[in-house]
Amino acid sequence: MAEERVSLEFLAAQMEKLLSEQRATRQEQAALRDDMTVLLGMVQRLDGTVQGLVTEVRAMHGRHARPEQRVSDLEKQPN
């Protein structure tokens, strides 16, 4: 097997390529982090909206149950 020699220029070029790829990866990570922050905010807003709707539906159910109870009470009274 022949002995291969590696020059300092080759090593420098390889190191520069590696550093360039690392910079690109860090930029992609920053963009993904920003996207995740936006998505988290959206989910939190939707969660708050759903909780508000649950409270509203429960309140509406209570409002509708009162007249039904009055009618039921009136029907039970003797004439």
In whole angstroms, give the CA distance from residue 54 to residue 36.
27
**Tell me, what amino acid is at 42?**
M
Which amino acid does the sequence have at 3? Answer: E
Average pLDDT for runs of 10 along the chain of length 79: 83 97 97 96 94 92 88 84
CA separation for the pair 49, 41 (Å, rounded): 12
Judge if pTM exceeds 0.85: no
Check residue 79 and give its pLDDT: 67
Give 58's DSSP letter: H
